[in-house]
Amino acid sequence: MDKTQSIVIVGAGVFGLSTALYLAEDGFSSITVMDRSMPPVPDGSSNDISRVIRFDYGDPVYAKMGRDAYELWNTSPDYADSFHRTPCVWTAQQSGPADLVSAGGSDFIRKTKKILTDMGCEWHNLDNVTALKDRFPTVSGTPIGAGFEGFYNNAAGWADAGLAITGLRDRCIRAGVSFVTGRHGHVTSLEKGSDGGVTAVRTIDGGRITADQFILATGAWTASLVPSWNTMVATAQIVGFVRLTPEEVKRLKDLPIIFNLSTGFFSFPPHEQTGYLKVACHSFGYTLSSSNVSSPPSEAISQRANFIPEEGRQRLLAGLGEILPELVARGFEKTCLCWYNETPTGDFIFDRHPEHKNVFVATGGTGHAYKFLPVIGEYIAKAFLGQLPADLAERWKFHTDYRSRAQDDLFTGASARGGGDGSRGGPGRREFTAQERDRLLTLTNALVRRPAKI
């Protein structure tokens, strides 16, 4: 590909920025990143106080990619300020209510331990809850209880997500990448030519920006820009933040990352700079649908809306009660939704769009992409340039064969409940109720009208 061609990348998250950096360092001279906000984008899935960094996977491809990324997180000066090494604990209930127990929990643990062993990596078994609490005495509750199984890996940690994205953004700027943000960068549609190519992106202020090549790294908003034919669906996941005292931050500093594969609940160590303890659910989520497409609100906002469904709040409190029951009565100072762009298999989509020859799609993070930030740009760029190995190109292709299948079968059927890498748990996916939808949209519009003061 001619490296003087102009490339517009829509989306300033992990996929968009890492691709921009790799291409710029590879010699491409005209790269522009567009988004509604300068990264870190307030409501993007790449922005928050923490993301899990691990290579514990029940799939050897992602395990190897994850280990390569982890080594860079752990050793590169680029991530010295944003990465924090801490053990990652995986637990599951071997049996229990069918509506809550992940079909993949035990299977994930079994496959992951085998893959780690095959890779020559250490892992440590946890025979019961007592073993967990002996190893991690900051856990004051009783995770899982009867039917417990689990293990942990010391080679793991978490990244300050917003801080790492800020560093990646600055590296892009130093490499010569241009940014267009605000209303000038808020892409609403594609301008198509008669030959199936795209001639420009159109923005919310009526502007248009032309390019030779377009890369859509638009996450949960992708299906609202191009036909997706059931290859993806945007789901909202629940997150809660507990305000800790300075003394509690110190006391809980050795808390590990803990996953409950049966319920989807997971928790982080305290975030010292903000004083928050963050908890969340890696589950099947909620959809916000219009014209058969689920998508987050499109408004440019200064912060995420303080909202999750009430039953989601109760799920977070129940999970918190298993880890740190003394904090349950305090509740959450704030909550929010984190938007995933799901694929039926949990694999990414790095491929040309079937209808638009000069549009490349990099999406489908499926709630597990952030950890690959140090390495994913090379994979996406090689897919964009047609240089991926055949097995990876096949895995990350844009499926057209899903269009004849029902979305509910692809994403909520038996094959999908164990979904993706098998680390999901909790109730099945559902649409927001009318009341929940109204509340979310009202809060989002309020944030647009009255931006938060800095």
- Position 241 in a domain: yes
Query: Is 45 among the domain residues?
Result: yes
- Residue showing tokens 């522009």: 32
For residue 54, pLDDT over 70 is answered with yes
CA distance 144 to 147: 7
Average pLDDT, the chain: 93
pTM of the full structure = 0.95
Q: Per-residue confidence at 194, pLDDT binned at 50, 70, 90?
A: confident
Is residue 160 in some structural domain?
Answer: yes
User: Helix, strand, or coil here: 200?
Assistant: strand
Whether 121 is covered by a domain: the verdict is yes
pLDDT tens figures, 180-190: 999 999 999 99
Q: Report the C-alpha gap between 200 and 209 in whole angstroms.
A: 5
| Distance between start and end Cα atoms, the chain | 44
The mean per-residue pLDDT over the stretch 410-414 comes to 57
Please check whether residue 353 lies inside any domain of the structure: yes
Range of the domain at 106: 6-449
Q: What's the CATH number where 102 sits?
A: 3.50.50.60
Asked if residue 229 belongs to a domain, the reply is: yes
Residue 399 has pLDDT above 80, yes or no: yes
Let me know if residue 454 belongs to a domain: no
Domain tally, the chain: 1
CB neighbours of residue 402 within 10 Å: 18
Arithmetic mean of pLDDT, 290-319: 96
Q: Does 1 fall in a domain?
A: no
pLDDT digits (tens, 9 = 90+) for 238-247: 999 999 999 9
Distance CA 36, CA 338 (A): 17
Residues 19, 215: contact at Cβ < 8 Å? yes
